[in-house]
Amino acid sequence: MTARTTAPVATRALTSAREAVSGISIALAGSGGSGVMTAGTLLLDAAAKAGLYGLMVRTSGPQIRGGEAAALVRLARAPIDTLDDRFDLLLAIDWQNVNRFADEIPLDAASVLIGDPDEGETPDVFKSTGACFVARPLKKTAKAIPGSWTNMVALGLAGALAGLPAAALEAAVRDSWKRTSEALKANLAALQAGMDAASGIHGVPELPKGNAPAGRRWLISGNEAAGYGAIRGGVRFVAAYPITPATELLEWMAPALAKVGGTLLQAEDELASVNMIIGASYGGVPSLTATAGPGLALMTEGIGLACSAEVPIVVVDVMRGGPSTGIPAKSEQSDLSFAVSGLPGDAPRLVLAPTSIADCLETTQWAVELAEALQAPAIVLSDQFLGQSRAIIDRPADADFVGRRLTATANTPDYKRYRDTASGVSPMAIPGTAGVVYTADGLEHTEAGVPSSQPKDHRTQLDKRERKLLRHDYGRWWADIEGDGDAAVITFGSSTAAAREAVARVARMGLDVRLIALRLLAPALPERLAAALNGVARVLVVEQNHGAQLYRYLRAMYDLPGKPASFHRPGPLPLRPGELATAIVEWTNAGVRKKASA
């Protein structure tokens, strides 16, 4: 189906998402002790209680404590996984170094800017956006209520402006309370004072009431979701080495694993963690570790070992700004090339990428299932945005992805660990099983597992390890394919949500674009992508990195129709729906002009 208009599409309508208010975006900012992260979390919680959905992203300066920080919150009536193009409200408890976040908090003339008149001048970078400035003495208000905190005033103010019911805001504060009841009383009073301060402020759109069910929804981060997905998939051993932004995934798993009878072991480094999980998995226990780019680099040799010895492992790579130490606390999708091809030798492996915070659960769970079923290493490409942001999601449906390893029965006659089977998967003997003893090896080996340098054996085993991945039926999970059109946007990971919103926006203007969000990146499945691209004449590959890594990978591994185009930008700023929508339209117009001039 072609675009409903053959004329170039106007781009100006794309820059305002306010026609269809799909949500409201609030930024809370302040420096040390101001408690904006907590306020943002409570705002999100209140929205949940009010039947809404929401997403919170944190950003901060380099200090461990006391630095400048901002909570970026988007609330809506339907689940959201991306920030919008702009913010409706920036509420600053103080302005200390908040100008550092200017690029992350785009404002315009329709935005509202609230600051405390006792906390200094509003930085020019915010004033010059034309946002409407309103003064509210947040600190004084809190001081007038002994024992209360300024962030509670801010919470009340922001919540009221967003149209959140007072009951929901109050409940959020109560539920989170850990201190004395006098302090609670004082802070509820501060909350109310904040709500009262909202009167007289105009310009912040109010959210319509939410109607999402109270039960069966979660407030969760991508890291937590991935950890839980791993446990659901059957992981019972984790080796851990802390690294930003994966540490929380491991920290969440430590007590969780213990509860279900598993173990987490803190390793001395990533070389140790990857080899520890290989050892545990060789022993029959589904195993996982989590890391980021620099750690993944160290795990390379281990992943190759897992590939060659056919030992299942799952490595979650919570991607961050690269290369090398890069930008540890910011997101980027720049480990893709390394994940799909960064191993010495011909070493096929599974690479998956969750498309949203909720999907971190299912995709990690699926990765465990695949790794176990195919006796291969699986890399899960999450990223800092998914991992460290919190969202209100519908409880994910139970998925039947449970790791089931094909194991050898005792005393199998003529047992060969690496037997060249039709599927490529050969039964794996688990230590403790009689009569099927073998030695696993990173060296190339015969079917029996004896080291070999023979051409026949090398060929057989290379074919086997490749075949087992290619022959597997990945079902419908390998990609999300949405919509129709002779143009398609292909993306992966955290860019999916922004691309999806962009596609929705251009559809409202009469431009139909298909969206393909790849969940399985390796092995490449040419036939399935060809089917997904049936009727598509041109593709735009969207990703958050400098080297157009997905674009190059797709061009290498697949036949893409027409002249494939690429939209790619490195971190640290996330891709936004508006810029993607503009890019889609410009790309479409270019195509239309080409057609017209042909």
Which position among 53, 228, 241, 338 is part of the footprint of another protein (CB under 8 A)?
241
The rounded distance, in Å, linking the Cα atoms of 231 and 406 is: 19
Stretch that binds another protein, among 235-243, 430-438, 487-495, 588-596 (CB under 8 A): 235-243
Shortest distance (Å) from residue 78 CB to another protein: 21
User: Smallest Cα–Cα separation from 540: which of 551, 529, 530, 549?
Assistant: 551
Could you say which of 52, 68, 378, 460 contacts another protein (CB under 8 A)? 68
Total residues belonging to the chain? 598
| CA 536-541-547 angle, 5° bins | 155
Residue 392 or 489 with smaller CB distance to another protein: 392
Is 36 within 8 Å of 90 (Cβ atoms)? no
Question: Judged by CB, which is closer to another protein: 391, or 541?
Answer: 391
What's the DSSP call for residue 210? P
Nearer to another protein by Cβ, of 193 and 489: the residue is 193
Site for another protein in 164-193 (CB under 8 A): 172, 175-176, 178
- Enumerate residues 266-305 that contact another protein by CB under 8 A: 266, 268-270, 294
d(CA 92, CA 236): 44
DSSP state, residue 560: -
Nearest approach, Cβ of 71 to another protein (angstroms)? 9
588 near another protein, judged by CB under 8 A: no
Q: Which of 94, 104, 335, 457 binds another protein (CB under 8 A)?
A: 94
Q: Which of 450, 430, 433 is nearest to 441 (CA)?
A: 450
Residue 394 and residue 436: Cα distance in Å, rounded? 46
Distance in Å, CB of 384 to another protein, minimum:
12
Candidates 575, 520, 513; CA nearest to 553 is 520
Binding segment (CB under 8 A) for another protein, from list 4-12, 25-33, 491-499, 520-528: 25-33
Looking at the Cβ atoms of 258 and 556, the one nearer to another protein is 258
When the beta carbons of 320 and 538 are compared against another protein, the nearer one is 320
Residue 281 to residues 179, 232, 233, 278, 333: CA-CA distances in angstroms? 44, 17, 14, 5, 29
Please, which residue, 36 or 278, has the CB nearer to another protein? Answer: 36
* Cα 523–Cα 525–Cα 526 angle in degrees, nearest 5: 135
Tell me the one-letter amino acid at 30.
G
| Residue at token pair 């049936």 | 534
- Tell me whether residue 225 or residue 487 sits nearer to another protein (CB atom): 225
Q: Which stretch binds another protein (CB under 8 A): 214-222, 379-387, 551-559, 587-595?
A: 214-222
Of 26-34, 128-136, 439-447, 456-464, which part binds another protein (CB under 8 A)? 26-34
For residue 243, CA distances in Å to 132, 224, 250, 288, 535 come to: 41, 15, 10, 15, 44
367-426 positions binding another protein, by CB under 8 A: 390
Q: How many Cβ atoms are within 10 Å of 191's Cβ, its own excluded?
A: 29
Nearer Cβ to another protein (64/397): 64
3-state helix/strand/coil string of 90-125: EEECCCCCHHHHHHHCCCCCCCEEEECHHHCCCCHH
**Among residues 5, 16, 128, 325, the one that binds another protein under rule CB under 8 A:** 325
Rule CB under 8 A: is residue 97 a binding residue for another protein? yes
Least distance in angstroms from the C-beta of 31 to another protein: 4
Q: Which stretch binds another protein (CB under 8 A): 238-246, 368-376, 438-446, 576-584?
A: 238-246
By CB under 8 A, tell whether 117 contacts another protein. no
Assess 364 for contact with another protein (CB under 8 A). no
Q: What is the spatial order of strands in the sheet that 69-76 belongs to?
A: 132-135, 112-115, 89-92, 24-30, 69-76, 53-60, 390-394, 217-221
* Residues in 429-458 that interact with another protein by CB under 8 A: none
Residue closer to another protein (CB basis): 125 or 329 = 329
Residues 27-66, one symbol each (x = binds another protein by CB under 8 A, - = not), give: ----xxxxxxxxx-xx--x------------x-x-xxxxx
Q: What letter would DSSP give residue 458?
A: H
* Number of residues in contact with another protein under rule CB under 8 A: 58
Q: In the set 102, 165, 251, 528, which binds another protein (CB under 8 A)?
A: 251
Residue whose CB is less far from another protein, 61 or 485: 61
Binds another protein (CB under 8 A): choice among 219, 285, 450, 573: 219
Distance from chain centroid for Cα 544: 12
**Residue among 58 and 552 whose Cβ is closer to another protein:** 58
Say whether residue 96 binds another protein (CB under 8 A): yes
Angle at which helix 166-176 crosses helix 181-196, to 10 degrees, equals 150
Nearer to another protein, 36 or 276 (CB): 36
Distances (CA, A) of 377 to 171, 329, 353, 416, 512: 45, 26, 14, 21, 38
Q: Provide the token pair at 542.
A: 């969207």
Interatomic CA distance for residues 377 and 368, integer angstroms: 9
| 217 is a contact residue toward another protein (CB under 8 A) | no
How far apart (Å, rounded) are the C-alpha atoms in residues 476 and 460?
30
Where on the chain is the footprint of another protein (CB under 8 A)? 31-39, 41-42, 45, 58, 60, 62-69, 94, 96-97, 147, 149, 151, 172, 175-176, 178, 219-221, 224, 240-244, 247, 250-251, 254-255, 258, 264, 266, 268-270, 294, 324-325, 328-329, 390
